[in-house]
Structure 1
């Protein structure tokens, strides 16, 4: 027995979550015992003790072990069966989803519908209580309020406002998460020779017509300081407007020393531009990123090439950053050549999983600068005002600007003060002690200048450089999105 014991201790034990799950699901319908008991039974049979994922799960394992070692079956019971009835209370039962914290109630839309549904189940002639009596059977919203004394709390359910933070599942989410994990490990391994950037566009900020300020739509969680006497804080909730601002966020991450540490620290840059004549596009993103890395915070030693040879980009799956699009590939090639890189890695999130992008978490900081704010653009000259009076779409304004000389410049001038105001408010925000740096968008001439890739070897005025630039622009305009198979 001593020899057998020594051999048993020296043998390696193997198991996996799939085998444990198969064992539990196989016997859970035949054995009337909780799943923790079956899990403990599996550990005892295999001799493999799985490590807990969290502290709470470890406490459950230890509590189950103590109960089983005490040899008292009365210590373990299901508290749902102690409500005074032989069966579970299934009238307001919430769908059980153990892997998430969302709760779904498919039965009751309101108290009236709840009463009608229950009335169909009871025999005819059963007294039905009023809506107010049913409402008082729920748990109070605020247990510290005086009205909580009227509630009985018989139904462990309360009225809540839906939080819109549910995460949509996607079959590629696991692979995208693994790629992101590998990318972080790669950046940590080569942290002295790489730079990790996260990019994303914030939602469009509406800008009202002259004299009609429109709210940004960001509602503050606290009240704003205002003088006791004077003008009121009023603005239109929505209106027909053409103007709007697109803040593009570039988050330069401080790469930690361990890939499991937080990547949510670094410098945050916001470039605000007009949505009408400076919309987001892959080539514009590439040009703006080149200028940012060349002239900000010593990312470039000679203001031409990047100080490190490896650039890692992490974006969402929007049309401006989808790596399967040819226009996005052209913008990545532009970054590779203009910054003199040895390697560029572009990774995107799975569909409906943009919340994994660290740049997405920066948007809440920008919302602090936009709460209690209403914006309107400046007045244009009368002749340009007449040109846009009956135009209600972006395409119509852009087409009109191609036909009428000076309309584009006049509209951009009317948006300058709005851009300065928003950037000034953005620059007041900080991310973990680092001030947010706000920039203006690039003009079309500056974007075209960055597209002149061959100007480095032939000169900006060279006919070869001009010809190659025109070919690149012509190809970028006529190319269609190309979806490659997974």
Structure 2
């Protein structure tokens, strides 16, 4: 019985050989895999030759369109296209314009979506906002972020409230007798968490709600994804509400980056602890929280 291997399996074998064997040609590795495994898969060159031959013959009966098998299936992209149409017809209808070239003016007019990835993100944001409004009585919408580190001076020893390579304004006859910001033994980081009051409609503001501010000592209270989830769990428990949905918006810091395994485990722990049915973790760009 013929054996057919996928591209992913062949690629993994080639990469493994490339890691442990030095200066081995890729063609030889592929041939070794084909012989030992008994792979009957036709290589891409032969497939391209057959496809070219089919087009050169110009026989419509050779090529069969099998898309008609998908006519009754529900596409997973239907929701995306629905909200893409709503986005283009609604919020972006007055702002989708070409870029203005202004060489002597600091203001440049750009389109609402400056790339395909940006368009996808804005459509996803619109979808999540409407989802939050629809289930506003059963959902927590949380905005979480760490702010700038605050330096703490020693008693009788002032510290310059500036960063590296910045200047301090002093008078002509005054002595600048303060320490640099690097010479501090203690610093605090404010952590801001807002439990959003979800509006009734999409035109309402999402930037209002209960704001909680906590201070962390950078030495003894190092930030971690598990610490953030623990603090958030304590806040939500004290709201005396049991919602089934949780939507969490954070910045792109390492303690919130949802592609990291430790962050994913913390989110799973939160999902189990709150007995949720649905959890959405959205990571936005750093500095845009």
Change (3 A) 1:195 1:214: same
TM-score by length of 2: 0.55
Structure 1 equivalent of residue 263 of structure 2: 328
Unpaired segments of 5 or more residues in structure 2? 1-91, 164-176
Deviation at 1:170, TM superposition (A): 7.2
Structure 2 equivalent of residue 300 of structure 1: 240
Unpaired segments of 5 or more residues in structure 1? 1-50, 58-89, 101-168, 219-233, 302-306, 358-486
Query: How far apart, in 1, do the equivalents of 2:153 and 2:107 lie?
Result: 46
Structure 1 equivalent of residue 18 of structure 2: none
Deviation at 1:276, TM superposition (A): 1.1
**Alpha carbons 2:161, 2:181 under 8 Å: kept:** no
Q: Give the 3-state SS of the residue equivalent to 1:267 in structure 2.
A: strand
Q: Does 1:260 align with 2:203?
A: yes
Structure 1 equivalent of residue 213 of structure 2: 270
Superposed structure 1 runs of 4+ greater than 4 Å apart: 215-218, 234-237
Number of residue pairs matched by the alignment? 178
| Aligned partner (choices 107, 113, 118) of residue 173 of structure 1 | 118
Query: How far apart, in 2, do the equivalents of 1:287 and 1:257 lie?
Result: 30
Structure 2 equivalent of residue 348 of structure 1: 283
TM-score by length of 1: 0.33
**Alpha carbons 1:286, 1:331 under 8 Å: kept:** yes
Q: Please give the per-residue CA displacement for 1:244-268, whole angstroms capped at 9, x wherever unaligned.
A: 1011111111000112321011111
Deviation at 1:273, TM superposition (A): 1.0
Structure 1 equivalent of residue 249 of structure 2: 314
Q: Does 1:208 align with 2:153?
A: yes
Q: Aligned-pair RMSD on alpha carbons?
A: 3.0
Query: How far apart, in 2, do the equivalents of 1:52 and 1:173 lie?
Result: 16
Change (3 A) 1:240 1:314: same
Matches within 5 A, 1:25-424: 53=94, 93-94=104-105, 97-99=108-110, 172-217=117-162, 236=179, 238-295=181-238, 299-301=239-241, 307-349=242-284, 351-352=285-286, 354-355=287-288, 357=289
Q: Give the 3-state SS of the residue equivalent to 2:183 in structure 1.
A: coil
Query: How far apart, in 1, do the equivalents of 2:93 and 2:185 lie?
Result: 55
**Higher helix residue share:** 1
Change (3 A) 1:215 1:288: farther
Q: Please give the per-residue CA displacement for 1:375-419, whole angstroms capped at 9, x wherever unaligned.
A: xxxxxxxxxxxxxxxxxxxxxxxxxxxxxxxxxxxxxxxxxxxxx
Query: How far apart, in 2, do the equivalents of 1:52 and 1:282 lie?
Result: 40
Q: Give the 3-state SS of the residue equivalent to 2:210 in structure 1.
A: strand
Query: How far apart, in 2, do the equivalents of 1:328 and 1:236 lie?
Result: 37
Q: Give the 3-state SS of the residue equivalent to 2:258 in structure 1.
A: coil
Query: How far apart, in 2, do the equivalents of 1:244 and 1:171 lie?
Result: 41
Change (3 A) 1:334 1:52: closer
Q: Please give the per-residue CA displacement for 1:314-352, whole angstroms capped at 9, x wherever unaligned.
A: 111211111111111111011111112121111111x45
Q: Please give the per-residue CA displacement for 1:103-143, whole angstroms capped at 9, x wherever unaligned.
A: xxxxxxxxxxxxxxxxxxxxxxxxxxxxxxxxxxxxxxxxx
Query: How far apart, in 1, do the equivalents of 2:281 and 2:194 lie?
Result: 15
Matches within 5 A, 1:423-438: none
